């Protein structure tokens, strides 16, 4: 594992001095001077560029100001003015899930969809001793062997169907990876502010996996010491360390998971009452000096044809790159989704929603790419999965948290996903698009089918980006 500090923000006046070859106090090369200057704006009438200048020449004073404002007064948003770019290299796919749990950061990850994976699996510290070391190593080797075999067979089968060789290679990489374990190493670039970084380090250090705790330690070592006045409380306390204990008091589960078909993998649990009315009520509330309850009453009395006409006007000048109006956030939908690790890796990127995930459950079965059937390798894949499940149960007896490392990208988990209509438009444009990966596209399309039944006007233009123009033309041609 390597955690490298790729960059961080410093005052632009210092950058200009460095460009001119002028001497600069190295202590001032910290984001803390910017955060301290911005924190003073609320109580100091001086121009903000003058406040930045004062911070640059009095770094220790700036740090004390940060500590007083962020930790003394509790104005933690000041720490968000300090930002870091971080290289995260050689961590497992499972550890990446822990890292990308944090919503207020940006991540760009190495894709197993586009890059052919070599045999680069991590042996968790939890299974470093015998007999578990050999047990784990052997199952990962089998998964890697099947990956390379499936890649070749899928590519050959697609080329025989007259698929373009480049496209065949891409699909082979995309689908063979369903056999790879969550122990396979990846890498990503991350941009994070100091406020989120402090929270991130604290929670990573409280994680049950050695690898994840090491990630937290390295993040602090690379970034925390650079901004001691902003990243201060990183040691996990009893609140983080005892999060799992409360579950002991919950009722036991009476039923385990069971395999589900793709058609049954998405279920709408709940939604805002009268979703279309909710959006129009917010529109009326914004546009007229009326109480919200009165606005809702007026919308309820409105004929359906008039409601549809209002939505048509709202969407009239919208293009595929526009966000829908914020009023669409006044209606939301909660789904239960059973999905593969591959699909989860993409779903978790939509961080404006609320995502609550259960652990991976082998009893939920695995997702099998159609290309495996075309290449006649699906039975070997299922044999591999059966072997993986046996090893998982054996490893689980030693360490249930680390046993997950051996599960494949095809193994499933159950999640609850709450999302408002505005964000669902964004999700659909990206994940229902023809360029989206097929697994997450199937989920996105099913979500759209469901919400269009309960909110047909709100989602009349919700679709993959590739369908937007045709959908728009169809709506406005029927006026």
> Which helix or strand (DSSP H or E) is residue 129 part of?
none
Question: How many CB atoms are located within 10 Å of the residue 306 CB?
Answer: 11
Distance separating alpha carbons of residues 460 and 324, to the nearest angstrom: 12
> Which helix or strand (DSSP H or E) is residue 326 part of?
none
Closest listed residue to residue 51, CA positions, set 156, 43, 70, 280: 43
Closest listed residue to residue 6, CA positions, set 81, 105, 88, 109: 88
Q: Is 446 tagged catalytic?
A: no
Q: CB within 8 A of 90, min separation 6: which ones?
A: 1, 2, 122, 185, 187
Structure-token pair, residue 431: 């994940």
Q: CB within 8 A of 211, min separation 6: which ones?
A: 1, 91, 92, 94, 95, 122, 124, 125
Helix (H, G, I), strand (E, B) or coil at 266: strand
Q: CB within 8 A of 184, min separation 6: which ones?
A: 92, 93, 112, 117, 120, 121, 122
| Dihedral of the alpha carbons of 182, 187, 189, 193, in degrees to the nearest 10 | 50
From the list 413, 431, 441, 446, the catalytic residue is 431
Q: Classify 25 in phi/psi space as left (phi over 0), alpha (psi -120 to 50) or beta.
A: beta
Q: CB within 8 A of 142, min separation 6: which ones?
A: 384, 387
Distance separating alpha carbons of residues 83 and 197, to the nearest angstrom: 9
Closest listed residue to residue 242, CA positions, set 267, 192, 208: 208
Question: How many CB atoms are located within 10 Å of the residue 390 CB?
Answer: 12
Question: How many CB atoms are located within 10 Å of the residue 274 CB?
Answer: 16
Distance separating alpha carbons of residues 277 and 289, to the nearest angstrom: 18
How do beta strands 266-271 and 185-193 pair? unpaired
Q: At what angle do helices 275-287 and 292-301 cross, to 10 degrees?
A: 120
Sign of torsion over alpha carbons 457, 459, 465, 467: negative
Q: Are 361 and 256 in contact (CB under 8 A)?
A: yes
Q: CB within 8 A of 463, min separation 6: which ones?
A: 428, 429, 432, 448, 471
Annotated catalytic residues are 431
């Amino acid at each position: 594992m390597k955690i490298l500090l790729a960059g961080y923000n410093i005052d632009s006046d210092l950058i200009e001095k460095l460009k001119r070859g002028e001497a600069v106090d190295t202590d001032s090369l910290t984001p803390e001077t910017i955060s301290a200057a911005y924190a003073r704006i609320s109580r100091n009438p001086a121009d903000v560029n003058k406040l930045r200048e004062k911070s640059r020449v009095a770094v220790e004073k700036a740090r004390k100001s940060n500590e007083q404002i962020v930790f003394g007064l509790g104005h933690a948003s000041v720490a968000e003015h300090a930002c870091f770019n971080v290289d995260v290299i050689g961590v497992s796919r499972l550890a990446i899930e822990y890292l990308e749990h944090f919503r207020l950061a940006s991540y760009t990850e190495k894709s197993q969809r586009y890059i052919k994976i070599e045999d680069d699996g991590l042996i968790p510290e939890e299974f470093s001793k015998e007999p578990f070391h050999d047990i784990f190593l052997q199952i990962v080797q089998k998964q890697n062997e099947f990956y390379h075999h499936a890649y070749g067979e899928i590519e050959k089968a697609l080329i025989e169907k007259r698929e373009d060789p480049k496209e065949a290679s891409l699909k082979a990489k995309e689908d063979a990876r369903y056999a790879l374990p969550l122990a396979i190493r990846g890498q990503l670039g991350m941009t994070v502010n100091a406020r989120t970084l402090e929270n991130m380090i604290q929670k990573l250090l409280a994680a049950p996996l050695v690898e994840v705790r090491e990630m937290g330690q390295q993040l602090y070592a690379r970034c925390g010491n650079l901004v001691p006045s902003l990243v201060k409380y990183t040691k996990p306390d009893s609140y983080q360390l005892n999060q799992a204990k409360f579950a002991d008091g919950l009722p036991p589960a009476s039923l385990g998971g069971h395999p589900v078909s793709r058609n049954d993998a998405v279920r709408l649990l709940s939604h805002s009452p009268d979703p279309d009315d909710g959006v129009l009520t917010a529109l009326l509330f914004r546009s007229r000096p009326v109480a919200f309850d009165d606005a809702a009453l007026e919308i309820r009395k409105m004929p359906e044809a008039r409601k549809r006409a209002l939505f048509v006007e709202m969407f009239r000048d919208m293009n595929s790159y526009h966000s829908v109006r914020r009023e669409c956030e006044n209606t939301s939908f909660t789904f239960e989704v059973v999905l593969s690790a591959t699909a989860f890796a993409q779903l978790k990127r939509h961080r404006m929603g609320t995502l609550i995930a259960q652990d991976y459950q082998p009893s939920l079965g695995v997702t099998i790419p159609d290309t495996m059937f075309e290449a006649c390798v699906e039975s070997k894949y299922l044999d591999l999965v059966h072997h993986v499940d046996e090893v998982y149960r054996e490893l689980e007896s030693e360490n249930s948290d680390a046993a997950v490392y051996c599960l494949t990208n095809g193994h499933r988990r159950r999640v609850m996903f709450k999302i408002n209509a505005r964000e669902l438009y964004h999700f659909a444009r990206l994940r229902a698009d023809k360029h989206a990966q097929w697994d997450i596209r199937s989920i996105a399309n099913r979500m759209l089918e469901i919400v269009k039944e309960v909110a047909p006007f709100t989602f009349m233009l919700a679709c993959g980006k590739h369908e937007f123009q045709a959908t728009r033309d169809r709506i406005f041609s029927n006026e």
